[in-house]
A and B are shown apart, each in its own frame.
Chain A
Amino acid sequence: MQLAYYPGCCWETSAREYDRSTRRVGKHLGIDLIDIPDWTCCGSSAGHSTSHLLATSLAARNLALAEEMGLDVVASCASCYQRLALARHELVTNEQLREQVNQITGRPFHGRIQVKSILEVIAALETAEISERVTKPLQGLKVAAYYGCLLVRPRPVQVDDPEDPQLIEKIMLAAGAETVDWSHKTECCGASLAMSNDQLALPMVASILRAAELSGANCIVCACPLCHFNLDRRQSQVNRSRGTDYHLPVFYFTQLLGVAMGLDPRALGVFDHFVDTSGILSLVS
């Protein structure tokens, strides 16, 4: 399977573990990820809150580039996924907008390709395809799958059921982990507010961590760089400000899948997180 890969801005910076692990796991599963040449910013939160036209045009340029490749787009970052998928949906359903945007970008997009999230691509594989490649089942791991909000809303581009999604659980179970049923799977983590207004966002992060702990999980798995940043980087800040003692390692699902498939953990970036992961990973090998 060949897909046009959209790495996104976090690629070389805060989410490089997600990018690296996505590429390695993809290769191992026979998913050929070809970088979109000359890709540019998708617009994401900054574009979306400034101007609808700007956000759609930024996304449209990348969609047009992928369309020239003749391949569907796949993004790992949930925010990039949602921006591109929503833009595609609007461009396909609103002819006037499409004409306006195509004029702005100078690279016409015709709606011939789809936008997917790496989560749905991997989850669409047969369970056997994943489990037969698992050499180190994730024993001892009790995973709280955290989807955040961007993957399951709004309705036209949702990747899974917005109230009770199960795709990450499906993958984790195939990798031999145990999953928990918990209440904050799709609650917003505060996203970029964690940087601009952390007084508002910190309590949101705290309630997610609390729910994860109450559910009996010993780690959290997510599919979005900003969620990861909030839950991982801000965990110590939550502990300090609230007097709690959370030690919940936070992984990208592709990292844990890679570990289960016997890929080199260092290359997957599992030791590069803020909350120490060595304890939990020792349960696996």
Chain B
Amino acid sequence: MRTGVFICWCGSNIGGVVDVPRVVEVISSLPGVAYCSDYKYMCSEPGQDKIIKAVAEHHLDRVVVASCSPRLHEATFRSVLSRAGLNPYLFEMANIREHCSWVHQKEPEKATEKAVALIRRAVAKVNRLEPLYASTIPVTDRALVIGGGIAGIQAALDIADAGHQVILVEKEPSLGGKMAMLDKTFPTLDCSACISTPKMVVAAQHPNITLLTYAEVEKVTGYIGNFTVTIRQKARSVDHSKCTGCGTCWEKCPTRVPSEYDLGLGTRKAIYISFPQAVPNKPVIDREHCRQFTRGKCGVCQKVCPTGAIDYTQEDALIEERVGAIVLATGYDLFDWTRAYGEYGYGRYPDVISSLHFERMVNANGPTGGKILRPSDGQPPRRVVFVQCVGSRDEAKGREYCSRTCCMYTAKHAHQVLEKIPGASAYVFYIDVRCPGKAYEEFYQRTVSEGARYIRGRVSRIYPLGDRLVVRGADTLLGRPLEVEADLVVLATAMVPDKSAHKVARILGVTTDKDGFFQEVHPKLRPVETNTAGIFLAGACQGPKDIPDTVAQAGAAAAKVCVLLSRREINADPMVARINERLCTGCMTCRHVCPYRAIEARTVTGRQGTPERTVAFVNTGLCQGCGACSASCRCGAVDLSGFSNDQVMAEVAALCR
């Protein structure tokens, strides 16, 4: 056995603390080490070349690299071994950066000793490693996109255009998400519906996209390339294959309820489409309020429907599909300020509204036909006050983070007030004005030049005075408190994950971060992947963001999906559990502890009529190599390839020497 050890300085990250020349000296004299050298940046091209050359020159058959975390460069060095002609699994890393030089900066001598010990451990392990060979698993050429807002639509279109099948699932009756609820979008002041509805229609008609609206994902099993998903198509009570969207039914429906789409500002019928440009443009029946379902009496819609499309007997249907990749695009909701902000009235004052309320009002499709009116008396406001950061940047009662879009949309709202209501004034109470995107700062300056008054300070109280509201805050640049009488107050409330996010995370087994957004693998380098292979993220479900960033991220997720689906098969990680059937007694303790349901029971027969017995069997596609089964096995029948009991004990012995 000829092991080569390569020690990295990582610039001064390691070399500035650990005495690398000394480590080289000590390690060179370890038994089993045929060659030891060092270099400033092992992961760089010259560094990698040095390894390949040394393998050839010194006939090395195993390699240890002492540098950073394997999470960063294990894959890099494994491919170096492949290029050098060695099995890539005859490799071990010693982390002398994150686990050593970075945490012991004040004790260089001890850090050097520790580096030696860590490398000794790695050598002891690498000397016991066996070559491993990756197997392949097939990939189903179909993707599932969960969420039909702009993120989901964009991702679905990009994947479908690349030639792959896509299933697009949306829980509301129509596609569009929050973007379709908006009026105009910054910084171009494009009409939101005008730019999103064409995409919605393409998504509905694309030959490669199967659109399921009013449907939710109920169960997901399997693994990358081979997911099995169960989708619940909720009963619409309308047969969409017969319905033409003529609208007679909702015209005649006698039941009116507050519209969720208009956030309670307007009403809809019990049989309804959410907005005129809904896709599909066919209604669903809200069974909780429909008289036919709650009282057994009505049936008007069925009577007037010219195609007989109404079907009260329709039931939820469960659809099972196989997909190779999943994209999460579940979007966002707004923070419920009415529960936390008593100083703004706990939601009791009708003229204190959220920014999304304002969007619905100013949208021509909305409850006021595009007019900005006070909810209390239906009159146009003369003075509108905007309050930023309600629930954002607030560790005390909201969220710590900045919601990223509100400074921009508030500037837009202020502009719309000044444009639509002649003689009106707009005040904005802010902490900072954040305009990081292309043409964003110019957009904000334009609003300021149009006369919007920006006051740097927070609002401590809003209370009614007669039929107006008093907004009490501070002007910190002038250093004094002030009160502004307003006719309408608009609160820019924080963006939080969609209310279904928690449930979806559980169904898919993805993790969420401290604020409930889906967790990406690495915020800078891998922003659209999750820790579960094969599941990707797009849009606000990963963190607050605006439309440009959402569309960009959706494209990124689609690209990752296409990379996956364009292969017939992918390599499965060979560092999985192995069961020695001769030692296995079939107690199945391992199956109980496996978190990935990767172990099954299997009957085996010995030769020449020895009786059948039950043994455990590992599905290598599902196994994630966690080792729980190996630790739980009483007979020592389970071992983890790449982390065998033997290898681990050798590491312990080397460290404890």
Interface residues of A (CB under 8 A from B): 161-164, 181, 183-184, 211, 214
Among the listed stretches B458-466, B531-539, B542-550, which one makes contact with chain A, having 4 or more residues with CB under 8 Å of it?
A: B458-466
Give the total of B residues in contact with A, Cβ under 8 Å.
9
The complex places the Cα of A119 from the Cα of B46 at a distance, in Å, of 79
Q: Which residues of B contact A184 (CB under 8 A)?
A: 463
Can you list the 7 inter-chain pairs with the closest CB atoms, starting with the nearest?
A163-B342, A183-B463, A163-B343, A164-B342, A183-B464, A164-B346, A161-B342
Q: Which of B623-648 contact A (CB under 8 A)?
A: none
Whether A183 contacts B465 by the Cβ 8 Å rule is yes
Closest to A163 in B: B342
Additional A-B contact list (14), CB under 8 Å, known A162-B342, A183-B463, A183-B464: A163-B342, A163-B343, A163-B346, A164-B342, A164-B346, A164-B348, A181-B348, A183-B465, A183-B470, A184-B463, A211-B463, A211-B465, A214-B465, A214-B466
Closest to A162 in B: B342
Q: What is the distance, in angstroms, from A222's C-beta to the closest C-beta of chain B?
A: 18
Q: What is the distance, in angstroms, from A168's C-beta to the closest C-beta of chain B?
A: 17
The complex places the Cα of A118 from the Cα of B285 at a distance, in Å, of 54
Q: Which residues of A contact B348 (CB under 8 A)?
A: 164, 181
The complex places the Cα of A164 from the Cα of B463 at a distance, in Å, of 11
Q: Which of B436-476 contact A (CB under 8 A)?
A: 463-466, 470
The complex places the Cα of A54 from the Cα of B464 at a distance, in Å, of 41
The complex places the Cα of A162 from the Cα of B343 at a distance, in Å, of 9
Once A and B bind, how many residue pairs between them come within 8 Å at the CB atom? 18
The complex places the Cα of A184 from the Cα of B463 at a distance, in Å, of 8
The complex places the Cα of A161 from the Cα of B339 at a distance, in Å, of 12
18 residue pairs of the A-B complex, CB under 8 angstroms, read A161-B342, A162-B342, A163-B342, A163-B343, A163-B346, A164-B342, A164-B346, A164-B348, A181-B348, A183-B463, A183-B464, A183-B465, A183-B470, A184-B463, A211-B463, A211-B465, A214-B465, A214-B466
Helix, strand, loop or mixed for chain A's interface?
Answer: loop
Q: Which residues of B contact A183 (CB under 8 A)?
A: 463-465, 470
The complex places the Cα of A163 from the Cα of B346 at a distance, in Å, of 9
The complex places the Cα of A164 from the Cα of B462 at a distance, in Å, of 12
The complex places the Cα of A163 from the Cα of B460 at a distance, in Å, of 11
Q: Which residues of B contact A181 (CB under 8 A)?
A: 348
The complex places the Cα of A189 from the Cα of B10 at a distance, in Å, of 66
Closest to A181 in B: B348
Quick one: CB contact mask for B343-364 with A, threshold 8 Å, 1 for yes? 1001010000000000000000
Q: Which residues of A contact B465 (CB under 8 A)?
A: 183, 211, 214
Closest to A214 in B: B466
Q: Point out which of A162, A163, A181 has the most chain B C-beta atoms below 10 A from its C-beta.
A: A163
The complex places the Cα of A181 from the Cα of B463 at a distance, in Å, of 11
Q: Which residues of B contact A162 (CB under 8 A)?
A: 342
Quick one: CB contact mask for B460-504 with A, threshold 8 Å, 1 for yes? 000111100010000000000000000000000000000000000
The complex places the Cα of A219 from the Cα of B465 at a distance, in Å, of 19
Q: Which of B2-59 contact A (CB under 8 A)?
A: none
The complex places the Cα of A183 from the Cα of B348 at a distance, in Å, of 12
Q: What is the distance, in angstroms, from A198's C-beta to the closest C-beta of chain B?
A: 20
Q: Which residues of A contact B466 (CB under 8 A)?
A: 214
The complex places the Cα of A14 from the Cα of B342 at a distance, in Å, of 33
Q: What is the distance, in angstroms, from A210's C-beta to the closest C-beta of chain B?
A: 9
Closest to B344 in A: A163
The complex places the Cα of A163 from the Cα of B465 at a distance, in Å, of 16
The complex places the Cα of A214 from the Cα of B343 at a distance, in Å, of 20
Q: Which residues of B contact A214 (CB under 8 A)?
A: 465-466
Q: Which of B596-631 contact A (CB under 8 A)?
A: none
The complex places the Cα of A183 from the Cα of B346 at a distance, in Å, of 13
Closest to A183 in B: B463
Q: What is the distance, in angstroms, from B470's C-beta to the closest C-beta of chain A?
A: 8
Q: What is the distance, in angstroms, from B342's C-beta to the closest C-beta of chain A?
A: 2
Q: What is the distance, in angstroms, from B229's C-beta to the closest C-beta of chain A?
A: 46
Q: What is the distance, in angstroms, from B352's C-beta to the closest C-beta of chain A?
A: 13
Closest to B464 in A: A183
Q: Which of B313-358 contact A (CB under 8 A)?
A: 342-343, 346, 348
Q: What is the distance, in angstroms, from B482's C-beta to the closest C-beta of chain A?
A: 15
Q: Which residues of A contact B343 (CB under 8 A)?
A: 163
The complex places the Cα of A217 from the Cα of B464 at a distance, in Å, of 15
Q: What is the distance, in angstroms, from B396's C-beta to the closest C-beta of chain A?
A: 10
Q: What is the distance, in angstroms, from A285's C-beta to the closest C-beta of chain B?
A: 34
Q: Which residues of A contact B463 (CB under 8 A)?
A: 183-184, 211
Q: What is the distance, in angstroms, from B341's C-beta to the closest C-beta of chain A?
A: 8
Q: Which residues of A contact B464 (CB under 8 A)?
A: 183
Closest to B346 in A: A164
The complex places the Cα of A181 from the Cα of B346 at a distance, in Å, of 13
The complex places the Cα of A214 from the Cα of B470 at a distance, in Å, of 14
The complex places the Cα of A163 from the Cα of B347 at a distance, in Å, of 12
Closest to A210 in B: B465
The complex places the Cα of A163 from the Cα of B348 at a distance, in Å, of 12
Quick one: CB contact mask for B207-222 with A, threshold 8 Å, 1 for yes? 0000000000000000
Q: Which of B104-129 contact A (CB under 8 A)?
A: none
The complex places the Cα of A184 from the Cα of B464 at a distance, in Å, of 10
The complex places the Cα of A164 from the Cα of B343 at a distance, in Å, of 8
Q: What is the distance, in angstroms, from A169's C-beta to the closest C-beta of chain B?
A: 14
Closest to A215 in B: B464
The complex places the Cα of A163 from the Cα of B338 at a distance, in Å, of 12
Q: What is the distance, in angstroms, from A153's C-beta to the closest C-beta of chain B?
A: 12
Q: What is the distance, in angstroms, from A10's C-beta to the closest C-beta of chain B?
A: 29
The complex places the Cα of A211 from the Cα of B343 at a distance, in Å, of 16
Q: Which of B389-412 contact A (CB under 8 A)?
A: none
Closest to A184 in B: B463
Q: Which residues of A contact B342 (CB under 8 A)?
A: 161-164
Q: What is the distance, in angstroms, from B390's C-beta to the closest C-beta of chain A?
A: 14
Closest to A165 in B: B342
Closest to A185 in B: B463
Q: What is the distance, in angstroms, from B176's C-beta to the closest C-beta of chain A?
A: 36
